[in-house]
Structure 1
Amino acid sequence: MVTIKNLEVKYGEKIALSIKSPITFEAGDRIGIIGSNGAGKSTLVKSILGLTNYNGNIHTNLKPEEMAAHMQENNYVDTMAVKYIIEALLNTKIKKNKVLQELISFFYFEECLNKKISALSGGQKQRLTIILVLIQDASLVFFDEVTSGLDFETRQQLMNKITEWYENKKVTICIVSHYYEELEKLANKILILDNGEVVDFGSKEQLFQKYCGKSTITIENTKRNEEVTKNFSKIIAPEHLIAISCLSESQELEIIKVLIGENINFKRSNNDIEIMYINAKARFNGELGGENCDEYEAI
């Protein structure tokens, strides 16, 4: 669907994005794009959409109208009722468009139609933009920080709705987010960026095994917990946690048995994207030893 190779984007003299080895987005992929601020996530989206200048190759069989995007900033006329904004942007009437009616109902947006934009909450504004994106029925859809600034419950509701809407549809979704729990539910592939470079790209399961093991067990980072687990294999984790890497089921059971015996609360995961990202980034930057991930391929 989309293949990117030898891509370089510059803002002045600064290289904002550099992709050397090819990466490919296939039909039906659910791709989570992660990285810290300035990693090149939004630049990548804008490059694929043709919204910024670049050198290199972005090959796709899609026409521009077959792509849709929810960007971080969306500005609407504040003096019109929401329903008129929708009808003007889409050049259709809500009463005559069954798919649009379905989307409005699907996102519980009926009560917002007669309001002005200024009267909408953050979550309602996001629902408006999502409706405008989904109605396009595009083959490739980008969501750039679609839930940024929203409370946990509203984020969960929006992501559940997006996931439900696209269920069993052969649509490729690329979602930029720093809320890792959202990507754990939605994404089947992860693209990790750091300072404009690709750290790694592949299936969520294979990347997790590559950087974390078969599973991870996380516990609170205390002196007692550190002492209890001193003989176990650790990987990098957020400061408040200790992350133990399990390479096999028997090893996992052994660790759990010890933690239960010591009355230590723990969490087991085989898809913790945050810990995977931390360790992938550390290895890429030479902080863990081992080889850098300069060469990668879509899985």
Structure 2
Amino acid sequence: MPVMPAAIRTTQLTRTFRSRTGEVEAVRGVDLTVERGEILGFLGPNGAGKTTTLRMLTTLLPPTGGTASVAGCDLTDDPRAVRRRIGHVAQAGGVDPQVTVREELATQARLYGASKPESAVRAEKLARQFALTDLLDRKCAALSGGQRRRLDIAMGLTHQPEILFLDEPTTGLDPGSRADLWDLVRRLRSELDMTVVLTTHYLDEADALADRLVIVDQGRIVAEGTARQLKERHGGSPDATLQDAFIAITGHGPAQHDSTAALSI
């Protein structure tokens, strides 16, 4: 049997921005491998480089340096092919409050080349999968936070992508809606064998969902592994939850100063 390539593989992925005071390295040589069917949790403090890395992997921002393959396609040479194979659900969402759920799903399908009849069928199917059938003719403005988030994810799956990127998927949701969304993410992997990359600030969420965690700080990966491995490596009990542990990771930057990412988790 041929070995399938990794869902995502980056080598020294870098992004530099220019500011009035000079260049700012937002992402500094990230080497990352995500296997097919894996749920990867991407963690780090604000400004660590999580969102910039995600924007590069979803073709929203070109890398300054390094290489990356996403869903078997070169990120720089063939970004259109990458976009056809990925779904991206941004933290702010992308729902138009003035249209119905049915219109939103059908329009998204049409944008990916489905015919009008096909888009109607796809909207109905996604509504069933995401418990939105009773809401199909409701304006998006009337949806609850959890309902709107389910619609966001359904929209990201209209073209049946291989990889789904979720940026802070449960921010602002109540505990019940968060739990429902966790179940939904698990189903994506178990039923569709989908690769999921999620950024989150909720450590219990990372512990509950992710097969593996990557922690970034100041544009670099400073730790990675399963939740159990990280707790064992950094002094926590492997049987505790991440919420009960404290991880402090110290690295040395190019300017020979310590860079500490302390996560109270």
Taking structure 2 as the reference length, the TM-score comes to: 0.77
Report the Cα offset of residue 214 of structure 1.
4.7
CA distance in structure 2 between the aligned counterparts of 1:275 and 1:214, rounded to whole angstroms: 9
Q: 2:9 — aligned with what?
A: 3
Report the Cα offset of residue 70 of structure 1.
0.8
**Cα offsets for 1:128-151 (capped at 9, x unmatched):** 111112333221111111111111
The 5-angstrom pairing of residues 89-168 of structure 1 reads: 89-91=108-110, 92-93=116-117, 97=121, 100-167=123-190
Give the gaps of 5 or more residues in structure 1: 216-268, 294-299
Q: Which amino acid aligns with 1:70?
A: V
CA distance in structure 1 between the aligned counterparts of 2:118 and 2:142, rounded to whole angstroms: 20
CA 105–41 in structure 1, closer or farther in 2 if over 3 Å, else same = same
The 5-angstrom pairing of residues 218-297 of structure 1 reads: 269-270=239-240, 272-274=241-243, 278-281=246-249, 283-284=250-251
2:52 to 43, 48, 70: 43
Report the Cα offset of residue 84 of structure 1.
1.3
Q: 2:3 — aligned with what?
A: none
Report the Cα offset of residue 108 of structure 1.
1.9
Tell me the number of residue pairs that the alignment of Structure 1 and Structure 2 aligns.
231
CA 78–56 in structure 1, closer or farther in 2 if over 3 Å, else same = same
CA distance in structure 2 between the aligned counterparts of 1:142 and 1:101, rounded to whole angstroms: 23
CA 149–214 in structure 1, closer or farther in 2 if over 3 Å, else same = closer
Report the Cα offset of residue 197 of structure 1.
1.7
Q: Which amino acid aligns with 2:69?
A: H
Q: Is the 8 A contact 1:76 1:117 kept in 2?
A: yes
Q: Is the 8 A contact 1:18 1:196 kept in 2?
A: yes
Report the Cα offset of residue 38 of structure 1.
1.2
CA 206–118 in structure 1, closer or farther in 2 if over 3 Å, else same = same
Q: 2:67 — aligned with what?
A: 57
Taking structure 1 as the reference length, the TM-score comes to: 0.69
Q: Is the 8 A contact 2:212 2:227 kept in 1?
A: yes
CA distance in structure 2 between the aligned counterparts of 1:114 and 1:73, rounded to whole angstroms: 23
CA RMSD of aligned residues (A): 2.6
User: Does residue 78 of structure 1 match 2:97?
Assistant: yes
Please say which structure displays the higher CA radius of gyration.
1
Query: Which SS does the other structure have where 2:190 is aligned?
Result: coil
User: Does residue 16 of structure 1 match 2:39?
Assistant: no
% identical aligned pairs: 25
Q: 2:77 — aligned with what?
A: none
Report the Cα offset of residue 213 of structure 1.
4.6
